[in-house]
Structure 1
């Protein structure tokens, strides 16, 4: 009688030298004899107990276009990329993940400002709720575009004694010299 279970698509059946039926896994080479009491269910053996570290496990996932769009815009902001960054790679992106459409430069500008406004609002609420002391510090730096900035940072410890630091504001400055900063 021929086996119809799909698991047998992953085995090569053969007769051993001692005239017993055996099956050899096409992937790891492990041999199973026909005695099911010693081997158990072949599907369990193949895919649960005898996993080869070289085999890849496939997992299903769901594409979240809103999360992808948000992460794309975060990448643009964090890496200081121009808003039009992805416009040249639309064809490539359609090949890699057809469900994701690269937003236009105007959409990136609008949504990055929206993200900023939401983060600023949440930060204000968080600082008001803390009712803790905070320390302020300033720093200057130069961006990849060679623009000088001054930054105002708040440092505080929350109720769980975790240290936080967050940028409250920054502005462009002409140079890092004391005269320009004052």
Structure 2
């Protein structure tokens, strides 16, 4: 109310009250901006396309797909609906999980009589890749920080871009989960077979003066 009273009592000024109100409102409107107008983000489609420029021109005249290298005429005034449709249907785009017309086939070795390889449908699964990675860490006796090294991450990005990066803490948890699952399988095997198990222990000291003890279990399975 204080600001309204000051405008209503202009004092010695010859400016009408209506003109002062209009001036103050117009100045306030020019200062206030919508949050979207401050920093307008670009479309996500430009993660898959590259703009094409002519020499001496600042505005793009086309767009090129980063995967199949097809070009489309595109101006800055046009929308990106055509480019979005192309990304969704691009057969070479590694981020398309489901392709309706084509499916991926792979040869997988199976232990069956009279067959060495088997032709099966393949589908990317993040959980299956994490389980295989935990098995590799255990079998090859690799450190957990191996998954954070630059070479391994570059290899994964080239081989399968859909594979999400993991930290050494996540891989350590996956190895513990793998151990628990294998322990349950082995316990169920011994409970169902009702067979005898022979345990053998061996202990030794390494050159670094570190003591080890190994426990080996021998048993006869169905094979």
Shorter-chain TM band: 0.3 to 0.5
Query: TM-score, normalised to structure 1's length?
Result: 0.47
Please identify the structure whose Cα radius of gyration is greater: 2
Give TM-score scaled by structure 2 length. Answer: 0.39
